[in-house]
Chains A and B, each alone.
Chain A
Amino acid sequence: MSIEPRDAVERVWREQGAKLWRSLVAFTTDPDIATDAMAEAFAQALGRGAAVRDHDRWIWRASFRIAAGELQARSRRSDALPEGSYEMPEPAADLIRALATLSPNQRAALALRDYADLSTRDVARTLGCSQATVRVHLAQARKRLRPLLEETDD
Chain B
Amino acid sequence: MTDLHDRFDDLDGLVVPDVYARARAIGPKEPQEPRPSAARRVGVILLASVIAAAGFGLLLRARDMDDGAPATSTSSAPPTATSTASAAPASQGLVAFAAQSRGSTTGLVIAVMQPNGTGFRQLTGLPGDRDADPDIARYTFASDDSPSFSPDGRTIAFVRRYAEGVNSLCKINVDGSNFRIIERDAQMGEIAWSPDGRTIAFYSEQDGGIHLIDADGRNERALWPRTGGPNQDAPSWSPDGSLVYYASGGIWAAQTDGSGARRVADPPRPVGWVALCPEGSPVAFVEHGSTGNDGAIWLVQPDGSSLRRVTPAGSGTWYAVSWAPSGLRLLLVSDDGTAALIDPDGTNLEPLPMPAGVTVAGPIAWWATVP
Taken together as a complex, chains A and B put the C-alpha atoms of A116 and B30 apart, in Å, by 28
Contact of A105 among B20, B105, B143, B359 (CB under 8 A): B105
**A89: B residues at CB distance < 8 A:** 13-14
Question: Would you call A109 an interface residue if the criterion is a C-beta within 8 Å of the partner chain's C-beta atoms?
Answer: yes
Given that A18-B16, A135-B319 are known contacts, is A71 also in contact with B71, CB under 8 Å in the complex? yes
**A26: B residues at CB distance < 8 A:** 8, 11
Q: Does the CB pair A65–B31 fall under 8 Å? A: no
Taken together as a complex, chains A and B put the C-alpha atoms of A18 and B10 apart, in Å, by 13
Question: Would you call B333 an interface residue if the criterion is a C-beta within 8 Å of the partner chain's C-beta atoms?
Answer: yes
**A121: B residues at CB distance < 8 A:** 189, 205, 231
Within 8 A of A (CB), among B1-56: 1-2, 4-5, 7-8, 10-14, 16-17, 19-20, 22-24, 26-32
Q: Does the CB pair B70–A105 fall under 8 Å? A: yes
Q: Does the CB pair B98–A132 fall under 8 Å? A: yes
Give min CB distance, A91 to chain B, whole Å.
5
Interface centre among A109, A133, A153 (most CB of B within 10 A): A133
Output the nearest chain A residue to B31 by Cβ-Cβ distance.
Answer: A48
**B71: A residues at CB distance < 8 A:** 68, 71-72, 75, 103-105
**B333: A residues at CB distance < 8 A:** 132
Give the A-B contact count at a CB cut-off of 8 A. 200
Give min CB distance, B291 to chain A, whole Å.
11
Q: Does the CB pair A132–B336 fall under 8 Å? A: no
Q: Does the CB pair A95–B10 fall under 8 Å? A: yes
Q: Does the CB pair A46–B28 fall under 8 Å? A: yes
Q: Does the CB pair A136–B335 fall under 8 Å? A: yes
The digit string for A67-109, where 1 denotes a CB below 8 A from any CB of B, is: 0110110010000000000101101101100000001111011
Which of B123-131, B159-167, B210-218, B307-315 lies at the interface with chain A?
A: B159-167
Give min CB distance, B339 to chain A, whole Å.
11
Question: Would you call B325 an interface residue if the criterion is a C-beta within 8 Å of the partner chain's C-beta atoms?
Answer: no
Question: Would you call B104 an interface residue if the criterion is a C-beta within 8 Å of the partner chain's C-beta atoms?
Answer: yes
Give min CB distance, A48 to chain B, whole Å.
6
Q: Count the B residues whose beta carbon is within 8 Å of the partner chain — how many?
A: 63
Question: Would you call A50 an interface residue if the criterion is a C-beta within 8 Å of the partner chain's C-beta atoms?
Answer: no
Interface centre among B30, B105, B106 (most CB of A within 10 A): B105
Question: Would you call B252 an interface residue if the criterion is a C-beta within 8 Å of the partner chain's C-beta atoms?
Answer: no
Given that A105-B106, A129-B105 are known contacts, is A21 also in contact with B8, CB under 8 Å in the complex? no
Q: Does the CB pair A58–B164 fall under 8 Å? A: yes
Taken together as a complex, chains A and B put the C-alpha atoms of A21 and B289 apart, in Å, by 32
| A-B residue pairs in contact (CB < 8 Å), sample of 21 | A13-B20, A18-B16, A21-B19, A22-B12, A23-B11, A39-B19, A43-B26, A43-B29, A57-B165, A68-B70, A92-B14, A105-B106, A121-B231, A128-B143, A128-B161, A128-B162, A130-B143, A130-B362, A132-B319, A136-B336, A149-B7
Taken together as a complex, chains A and B put the C-alpha atoms of A1 and B278 apart, in Å, by 50
Question: Would you call B337 an interface residue if the criterion is a C-beta within 8 Å of the partner chain's C-beta atoms?
Answer: yes
Q: Does the CB pair B4–A142 fall under 8 Å? A: yes
Given that A13-B20, A47-B29, A129-B161 are known contacts, is A150 also in contact with B2, CB under 8 Å in the complex? yes
Contact of B165 among A54, A88, A108, A153 (CB under 8 A): A54
